[in-house]
Every structure is written in structure tokens, then in C-alpha cells.
Amino acid sequence: MQDRSMGKAPSIPEVRPADEEILTVKGMIGSFLIALRNYVLYPEDHAMCRKSLAAVQGRLDGFLAGHQSLRLDVEKDRFLFQGEIVHQGPSQEDSLTFQLFREGIQWLEFKNGFTAEELNVFFKLLNQYRTPKEEAEGDLVTALWEADFPHLQYKNEDVLWEAEPLIDFSLLKVAPGEVQPEEEGVEEPVAPAAKIAMPAADAPFWKLTPAEEKEIEAMILEEETRDCTEDVLEVLMIILKEQRDPKDFAVILDFLTEEFRYTLAQGEFSFARKFLESIRVLQESRAPDRPWTRSLLDAFRQRISDSEVLGALEEAWQQVIVMDADRLEELRRSLLLLPAKVILTLGPMLPNVGSPGIEQLLMEVIGAHADDDLDPVKQLLDTAEEPLARRIIHVLKHLPTKDPTDVLFELTRHAQDTVCKDAVNALVDRDPQNLRKLFPLLEDPRLHIRRLICGHLGKRVNPLAEELLLDYLKHRRFQLKDRQHILACYRALGQCGSARSLPFLQESLLKQDWKSFLGIGGSLHRQGGALALLAVRNEEAARSALRKASRSIFSGVRLAYRRAVEEDQKMKKEPGR
């Protein structure tokens, strides 16, 4: 029987408590039960919980001020106060009396001074162990002991050993058999007690010196504040290296999965890094006598790259862990030691990290992994929403070795315009030659994509863009019969083109046929030619053609020139048009 009471338990007095006292205790238990129910229904910081906790505390304080203590005897379905029933309820699994009874608690005693904090913790424990838990999760009695309430005492029976007989120690054999000390010569040649007694007479020998006492204090402080994470990881690595049984190897890895998660949650990234380095060394050692380790370690590394484990990072940076530069560097190095699949876990974290430093770090890590293997990125992008996709595009744009063109090109078809735009920009930024691949987007149904492509084509003097546009316009390859679009293409050609395009543009503007004489037809391309020539940089021939057009005897040509000038001015004012 466990007695967590200080001194002797107060005995039940023979005098019956006053009716008023009983009513007070009944009221208190009522408010206690209401508060407990609120703890089940609401989070601890909910107003309902706080309010009901205050109500219980008020009643308890009032009672304890006058009585010093309140002891409640526990039975299966009732509480007794000084022998009087103060609460009777059903003996159901979820009733408080039954819960306490089930745990073997015989009485509870609240002492004067019982604080709101103690009450809060007590409620939390009652709530936590409301229903019987799996053995691993502990029990109420053990938890009450560990909570070590200064003003709450209780007594409980050893219910876990109900039917277990006690060992009769006198029946235990203390020696192998009938040993006769004299015959066996077991008496020791010297009187060891006297031998050891000598320093005893010299008290200073046994007395701890102040320095030793200080050292002990330091030892205790170190032990009681010790973070055992690194030790556990190291010891388990030692065991892994020695392990010969695949099943046990797997068991250790399972535990290490939990431990690794905890390490991350605590922000102990240097431990995590060292551990992952050891795992890598172990994996690379390719122990020939244990070929099965490879697949188990592979699976382990995949497992610890999952969100179930790496989700702990979000706990770490949502808490108060200071992410200084060293810590971030350790985290970066740790994450780089994981397989590329980690992208699938880190990616979704990106939009939510909130810290630019961490976001940058994750993008670097994703980039480094993607540079080895693009498949996880592709997988990630299959379902990526705009914020993630845009960040991934940024990463892909800077990949040093792997070519992400296909992935980026895929993204140009993304439902979100911003994503497409970023993808296009990334493609062009990575390699201007990508314009050839992007050129079909010039006829994309989405106006802004068409404009974007046009913008890229006309961004600067660019033989590739010139070639593409020239071919497109000259051979009338456009499927899209949109006036503005075609004009924009002409203008882009002017911006990116060279002398090579001038003949085509001059002809487009100044072409003399019967339609131009009559001022009908062809005005779009004439105007386009003019627009293009207006955009051409530093080409005297273009200016000359434009002058000619402005003085042309053909009204259609003059008109085209005039409109082109107007259009050009508009475009300059509104570049996005």
C-alpha cells in the first residue's frame, strides 16, 4: 500500500460533522465535478475551465481556511466526509469516484494552502487518466506521485498486485548448500572490520571536504539538468554497430526514429547532425556479414524524412528555440544528410515557416537535394498550391547542375497565373535559349502569358527571338487572329530584331499593292511593321522607312504609320498592354 501522506492520516472522528459542513463539502464536490467535466470538454485555457477552476478554488479556500484540511474517503460510487456520504453517483467507468477507486486510491486530503496551480495540475491528471491507459502511458497514481503536490495527500492500495503472494525471504537460499565455515575456511585471515575501522577513527577521512561537497552539488546539477539526447543517440549507435540480429536492429531503429524526432523538436540540431553522420558511416561501411543492414537503414532514413518525424521541426521553431546562425547551420547540414525524398516533407513547410532565415535554409536544402534527384520535386509539384509552387520555382531556377527545364515547363501550364509567370521567367532566366521551347506559349489562351512571352521576346536584341518572331510573322504562322496580339508580336520583333528583319518590316509597312492604293486590307500588318520599326533600336534604315511611310502617297500607309505611332505611345505608357 502506498501512503503519500505526511505523518499519520487523520482518523475519522466519531463526532458527526455539522449539517452545514456537509452541505459545504457537497457543494464543493459538485463544483469540482462540474470543473472536471469542463476539463474534458474544453481546452485548459478556455474560459469555462478557468471559471470553474476559480469556483472550486474559492470553495476549497473557504473550507480549508476554517478546517485546515479536507479529507474525502473514496468508495466505488461515493465520497465520504467524516463518515458522511457527501457524493453518491453511479459506479461507472467515467465517474470520478470509480476512477479513483479503480486506481486503488482510498482517500484524498486537501491541505490548507492548496494552490490554483496544484488544482489545475490535479484536474489535468484526472482528465488524462480518466479512462485506463495502455501500460506504457502510465497511470494516475504514478503520475500523482511524480507531481508531488505539496498540499494534496492520498493513500492508495497496491491494486496491481492484488492476488500476488509476498515472497518469504527466509525461504530464499543464501548459499549453495551446507557450507561449514570452519571446514571451508571462509573466515578471513584478518579482521577486515578492524582494517576498515581505522580511518573511521580519523573523522576527517570520512568527512567530505567543502570542495567535495561542492563537487557533489555540481554533479547533481549536471545530472538533473542533463540532456540525455546525445548520449542516447551515441549509445544506440554503438549497439547498432554491434547488432547481429535484424529484428533487434529494426527495434533499435524504431526507437531511434522517436528519439530523432525528439532531438529535432528540442532544436538539438548538432546532435541530429552527428547522429545522421554516424548513420551514413554505418551505411557506407556495408558490413559484409550483415547485408540486411542496408535495406533497414535505407528504410530508416526514408522514415525519418517523413512528416511524422520532421514535423518536429515546426514544433522547434514555433517554440522559443533561438535559431541562431550556428543552430541553423547544423540544421542545414542535418537535412542535407537525409535522402532527397525529404523534399516532400520540407516543401510543404515552406509557406508556413514565417522566418525568412529558415525559409531560405529550407529552400537551399531542397535545392541541394533536387540537384541530385528531381523526382521528389516533380511529385511535390503535382499537388503544390501557388505559394509552394512559386517557392519551388525559385529553387529550381538556381539549380547548379540538374536541368529543371521540363519541370519548369510543366509549371507554365499551372492553373495559377503567377506560377506560370514565375516558371516562364525562371526558364528564360536560366537559359535564354528556352525561348524556343516557350515560343508556342505565344498563342496561349491566357492573355497575360502571351504578353509575358512577348515581353521576353522583345526584351532585348536577341537573334533567337528575332528568328522565331520573324518566322512567325513572315509566314503567317499565327493561329490566333487577335489584332493586339499580332501588333505586340511586331513590336517585340522590332525590339529584339536586327537589320535582318528590316526588309520584312519595311515591306510590311510600305508594300504597294492595289489594296493599299485603295486604303483597304493589310492595315494590320502595315501597322505592325510600323510599330516594329518604331521599336527598332539604332537602325537608320528603320527611321528612313518610317519617314517614308509618314509621307507616303498611299493613305493606307500613312494611316498605318499614324496609328502605329499612337499605339506605340500607348504601349510605352502602358507596358502591360
Partner 1 sequence: MNTDASKQRILTGDPFFRTFFRLLQTVKIHQSDNPLLLECVAEFVHSIIQCCAEEDRLTVQISRGRFYLQGETLTYRPDNLTLVQDMLQYFKQRGLTGLRFFASVREAASGQIVAFAHLLNNADRQEEPLAWLLLQMQEGNYPWVEIVLEADSSLTAHTSERGEKARRTYSYAMTSIQEVAQKMTSQQRAGVQKAKRMIQNMVDILTEDDSVLLGMSTIRDYDDYTYTHSVNVAILSMCLGKRIGLSRLSMERLGICGLFHDLGKVEISHDLIIKPGKLTDEEYDQIKEHSLNSVRQIVKLNALRDLKARIILPPFEHHLKYDLSGYPQTDRKKPVSLFGRILTITDIFDAMTSPRIYRPVALSPDRVLTMMLEGAGTEFDPILLKVFINMLGVCPVGTLLLLDTGEMGLVMETPAEAVAGRPLIVLLCQGGKGEFRKGAVVNLSERDPQSGAFRRNIVNSLHPSAYGIQPVDFLV
Q: Given the complex with partner 1, which of 19 and 148 has the nearer CB atom? A: 148
Which of 19, 242, 289, 540 binds partner 1 (CB under 8 A)? It is 242
Which of 44, 94, 231, 403 binds partner 1 (CB under 8 A)? It is 231
Which of 15, 47, 163, 175 binds partner 1 (CB under 8 A)? It is 175
Which of 18, 23, 179, 299 binds partner 1 (CB under 8 A)? It is 179
Residue 204 in contact with partner 1, rule: CB under 8 A? no
Q: Report how far apart, in Å, the C-alpha atoms of 244 and of each of 2, 232, 275, 528 are.
A: 43, 20, 20, 79
Q: Given the complex with partner 1, which of 161 and 517 has the nearer CB atom? A: 161
* Interior/surface letters 449-483, b for 16+ CB within 10 angstroms, e for the rest: bbbbbbbbbbeeebeebbbbbbebbeeeeeeeeee
The HSE-up count of residue 51 (CA atoms within 13 Å, CB side) is 7
Residue 471 in contact with partner 1, rule: CB under 8 A? no
Residue 517 in contact with partner 1, rule: CB under 8 A? no
Cα 442 from Cα 450, distance rounded (Å): 5
428 secondary structure, DSSP code? H
Minimal distance in Å, beta carbon 226 to partner 1? Answer: 7
Residue 162 in contact with partner 1, rule: CB under 8 A? no
Which of 15, 47, 163, 166 binds partner 1 (CB under 8 A)? It is 166
Which of 18, 220, 518, 520 binds partner 1 (CB under 8 A)? It is 220
Q: Which segment (168-176, 313-321, 401-409, 544-552) binds partner 1 by CB under 8 A?
A: 168-176
Residue 1-40 contact track with partner 1, rule CB under 8 A, x = bound: xxxx-xxx--------------------------------
Per-residue three-class SS string for 204-234: HHHCCCHHHHHHHHHHHHHHHCCCCHHHHHH
Q: Please report, as a single letter, which amino acid is at residue 518.
A: L
In angstroms and rounded to an integer, the radius of gyration of the C-alpha atoms of the chain is: 41
How many Cβ atoms sit within 10 Å of the Cβ of residue 177? 5
Q: Given the complex with partner 1, which of 13 and 176 has the nearer CB atom? A: 176
- Laid out side by side, the sheet with 105-111 consists of 2-4, 152-156, 105-111, 69-75, 78-81, 84-88
Residue 423 in contact with partner 1, rule: CB under 8 A? no
Cα 498 from Cα 507, distance rounded (Å): 15
Residue 174 in contact with partner 1, rule: CB under 8 A? yes
Residue 146 in contact with partner 1, rule: CB under 8 A? yes
Q: Report how far apart, in Å, the C-alpha atoms of 573 and of each of 231, 421, 535, 561, 564 are.
A: 68, 22, 14, 18, 14
Which of 44, 217, 277, 566 binds partner 1 (CB under 8 A)? It is 217
- Dihedral over alpha carbons 508, 511, 517, 522 (to 10 degrees): -30
**What angle do the packed helices 229-242 and 246-265 form, to 10 degrees?**
160
Q: What residues between 57 and 116 interact with partner 1 by CB under 8 A?
A: 111, 113
Residue 499 in contact with partner 1, rule: CB under 8 A? no
Q: Given the complex with partner 1, which of 82 and 243 has the nearer CB atom? A: 243
Phi, psi torsion values for 109, nearest 5 degrees: -135, 120
Q: Is the dihedral of CA 215, 219, 224, 230 positive or negative?
A: positive
Grid coordinates belonging to 186: 571462509
Minimal distance in Å, beta carbon 364 to partner 1? Answer: 31
Minimal distance in Å, beta carbon 229 to partner 1? Answer: 7
Residue 141 in contact with partner 1, rule: CB under 8 A? yes
Residue 195 in contact with partner 1, rule: CB under 8 A? yes
For cell 539526447, the residue is 229
Give the interface size with partner 1 as a residue count (CB under 8 A): 79
Q: Given the complex with partner 1, which of 20 and 223 has the nearer CB atom? A: 223
Q: Given the complex with partner 1, which of 259 and 466 has the nearer CB atom? A: 259
Instruction: Determine the 3-state secondary structure of 110 from DSSP.
Output: strand
Q: Which residues, listed in sequence order, are joined to residue 124 by a DSSP beta bridge?
A: none
Which of 18, 40, 208, 520 binds partner 1 (CB under 8 A)? It is 208
Q: Which segment (140-148, 339-347, 434-442, 449-457) binds partner 1 by CB under 8 A?
A: 140-148
Q: Which segment (57-65, 136-144, 291-299, 502-510) binds partner 1 by CB under 8 A?
A: 136-144
Minimal distance in Å, beta carbon 380 to partner 1? Answer: 30
Q: Is the dihedral of CA 271, 274, 280, 285 positive or negative?
A: negative
Phi, psi torsion values for 395, nearest 5 degrees: -65, -45
Residue 270 in contact with partner 1, rule: CB under 8 A? no
* Strand pairing category for 84-88 and 2-4: unpaired
Minimal distance in Å, beta carbon 91 to partner 1? Answer: 24
Residue 118 in contact with partner 1, rule: CB under 8 A? no
Minimal distance in Å, beta carbon 44 to partner 1? Answer: 21
Cα 419 from Cα 412, distance rounded (Å): 7
The HSE-up count of residue 574 (CA atoms within 13 Å, CB side) is 7
Residue 292 in contact with partner 1, rule: CB under 8 A? no
Q: Given the complex with partner 1, which of 176 and 576 has the nearer CB atom? A: 176
Residue 132 in contact with partner 1, rule: CB under 8 A? no
Cα 518 from Cα 398, distance rounded (Å): 56
Q: Which segment (34-42, 191-199, 375-383, 489-497) binds partner 1 by CB under 8 A?
A: 191-199
Q: Given the complex with partner 1, which of 86 and 252 has the nearer CB atom? A: 252
- Cβ contact 442:489 at 8 Å: yes
- H/E stretch holding 74: strand 69-75
Q: Which segment (178-186, 418-426, 433-441, 484-492) binds partner 1 by CB under 8 A?
A: 178-186
Cα 197 from Cα 185, distance rounded (Å): 23
Minimal distance in Å, beta carbon 214 to partner 1? Answer: 10
Q: Given the complex with partner 1, which of 131 and 170 has the nearer CB atom? A: 170
Which of 14, 19, 45, 223 binds partner 1 (CB under 8 A)? It is 223
Residue 196 in contact with partner 1, rule: CB under 8 A? yes
Instruction: Give the burial class of 37: count Cβ atoms within 10 A of its Cβ; 0-12 exposed, 13-18 middle, 19 or more buried.
Output: middle
How many Cβ atoms sit within 10 Å of the Cβ of residue 419? 23
Q: Given the complex with partner 1, which of 47 and 196 has the nearer CB atom? A: 196
